[in-house]
Structure 1
């Protein structure tokens, strides 16, 4: 069975004749008659009661007419959806996500929905290496990554920039400063996670130390945020550096201060080459939300 056979069947039914259906379809009448006979053979039923003066739907034809219309409507919808997918207005965008400060992700998704309301976004949270591998393999269309200057086989497009913060004992003399500089903290042991836990962030901080000519004093490693803050509050003087994820915490005996530099850049990792329509919509949403702050 072919779609054109159903189209001819519906046209003959609606025009109540083969000649008028042929005129409507802009083809010869013999082609319409031939396709209707072929359709009847394939279905094993007679669709029309034919006479020399009239063509009427048979009982089988009356029953099958709504089904034929439904099939043609579904085919039309499929064509429209395919066109929307080609334009990026429909389909699925698979995005590797990170925990973002404030409501950045929500604002980005809201802007994306305003531009392409039919586009579905599937967020996946994976480790950094798995996130990048998924983009390279095509399992993800793009992935957000932090503090990465480069990634082999991928293009990194800056999405937004966030400040870094220092946590240090509230009774330390530096806690009176409104903003911290790495040079001021050189004599105080810093708690950093081992490099293998987060290579880009670890390298960002160590490169920043080198840029200002400071050799950091490494203290006990950063474990998790809560435990590290407890250690800073109750243990020997030390400090750590972090980025905001879900708001700045309030913790007794710990002071939180902005770090003058460096800043934390979040980028969108994509395959090199012209972006797909889906990605163009995403890049637009990122541009709008990053401009909004």
Structure 2
């Protein structure tokens, strides 16, 4: 049997995504077709290329030897097509409000080696405006019921619901409490985002629902400045539980959770459906990774919640993945053919 480039492309998609089902979605094939291509490749070499489990797919020693060779062949052929067509690499422009979620770039680069990536960490409302203006293809955003984003005409899928945690100085009287009732912070000085920002409005409304008006003493947009206000001025605030920890503050869950919505938003006329599915799946996985790494207490809670909801972590079978509605045009970027 003669070796085919298409088989190498399928092999790479499975290796990079660690999932036959995810590779099938990305390539626009059925899962049996992907499996058949891999089996033909394994018969050609007379060696198993993947070790399969119920949760994940891993490369065997033979698969690891093949990986850089297959990447070189497929990349060189794609480069030949691009150069002869007189084109330049496609660029995927992405916005994110949560810096930790920009870690999807590594897996995306492996899946799309001939695509450039332009990523900006910015406020969600800015990302949405940039998508509408044609300056972004997609973005991770936070949405609040008290000030919902204008998403009419855009693709949108909920990735998760994020509970906001209390952020307190390490010397605070509630620093070791199992959970904090928001009303217990009524007498504390607060540091919030500047007036007009949606997160500030969200926090203020949460405090009012708890029966008090927060005593806002400082405002800042920079995380380092907020940390300084907490550590040196005894301020409290509310923040994402996946933020990297600090020796200057502690994060505690609220006794009565206050949540915001984590979404993936995209331009339906410019982003291929296959890419949206992969990005959504990767983002859910990276969110869980960040939670387990930066805040293990929240990470364990999140993992338990997903298991109870029968939604596996990234790399699990397709039944547990985010359901993404079909997009319109498939302009950038689709799977390599």
Task: Calculate the TM-score normalised by the size of structure 2.
Answer: 0.49
State the secondary structure of the residue aligned to 2:211.
Answer: coil
Correspondences of 1:7-26 after superposition (within 5 Å): none
State the match for 2:279 in structure 1: 282
Q: How many angstroms does 1:201 deviate by?
A: 1.1
Which residue is 1:209 aligned to? Answer: 207
Contact 2:140 2:263 in 1 (8 A): yes
Task: Specify whether residues 271 and 78 from structure 1 end up closer, same or farther in structure 2 by C-alpha distance, changes over 3 A only.
Answer: closer
Q: Structure 1 residue 187 and structure 2 residue 187: aligned?
A: yes
Counterpart in the other structure of 1:62: none
Q: What displacement does 1:229 show?
A: 4.2
Structure 1 residue 163: Cα displacement: 4.6
Q: 2-side partners of 1:272 and 1:98: how far apart?
A: 20
State the alpha-carbon separation in 2 of the partners of residues 269 and 74 from structure 1.
Answer: 29
Corresponding residue for 1:29? none
Shift of 1:75: 11
Is the 1:111–1:289 Cα contact (8 Å) retained in structure 2? no
Q: Is the 8 A contact 2:204 2:214 kept in 1?
A: no
| Aligned-partner Cα distance in 1 for 2:283–2:111 | 12
Q: 2:264 aligns with which of 261, 268, 284?
A: 268
Could you tell me which runs of 5 or more consecutive residues in structure 2 were left unpaired when the two chains were aligned: 1-76, 288-311, 315-337
Say whether 1:136 aligns with 2:132: yes
- Report the alpha carbon displacement of residue 246 of structure 1 after superposing the two structures with TM: 5.7
Higher mean C-alpha displacement, 274-283 vs 144-153 = 274-283
Question: Residue 287 and residue 233 in structure 1: after superposition, are their counterparts in 2 closer, same or farther (change >3 A)?
Answer: closer
Q: Taking structure 1 as reference, are residues 162 and 118 closer, same or farther at Cα in structure 2, changes over 3 Å only?
A: farther
Indicate yes or no: 2:217 matched with 1:220.
yes
* Cα pair distance change 1:256/1:78, threshold 3 Å: closer
Residues 1-293 of structure 1 aligned to structure 2 (within 5 Å) = 77=81, 91-101=90-100, 104-106=101-103, 108-126=104-122, 128-148=124-144, 149-153=148-152, 154-196=154-196, 199-210=197-208, 212-223=209-220, 224-235=222-233, 238-243=235-240, 247-251=244-248, 254-260=249-255, 261-271=257-267, 276-277=272-273, 278-290=275-287, 292=313
Please state whether the residue corresponding to 1:131 is helix, strand or coil.
helix
* Aligned residue in 1 for 2:307: none
Alignment partner of 1:221: what SS? Answer: strand
Distance 2:253 2:185 in 1: 13
> Aligned in 2, Cα 1:281/1:92: closer, same or farther, shift over 3 Å?
farther
Deviations 1:3-58 (A, max 9, x none): xxxxxxxxxxxxxxxxxxxxxxxxxxxxxxxxxxxxxxxxxxxxxxxxxxxxxxxx
Q: Tell me the matched-pair count.
A: 206
State the alpha-carbon separation in 2 of the partners of residues 202 and 233 from structure 1. 20
Instruction: Please state how far the C-alpha of 1:239 moved relative to its aligned partner.
Output: 1.6
Deviation digits for residues 48-107 of structure 1 (CA, Å, limit 9, x no counterpart): xxxxxxxxxxxxxxxxxxxxxxxxx9998259989xxxxxxx833211233423xx422x
Task: Report deviation, 1:126.
Answer: 4.6
SS at match of 1:166: strand
How far the C-alpha of 1:190 sits from its partner, in A, is: 2.6
Whole-Å separation in 2 of the counterparts to 1:162 and 1:146:
9
Q: Give the C-alpha shift of residue 135 in structure 1.
A: 0.3
- Give RMSD over aligned pairs: 3.9
Q: Residues 292 and 105 of structure 1: is their aligned pair in 2 closer, same or farther, counting only changes over 3 Å?
A: farther
Say if 1:195 and 1:75 are closer, same or farther in 2 by CA, change over 3 A.
closer
- Larger radius of gyration between Structure 1 and Structure 2: 1
Which whole-Å deviations, capped at 9, do the CAs of 1:212-243 have from their partners, x for residues lacking one? 442233230233444444444454x5422223
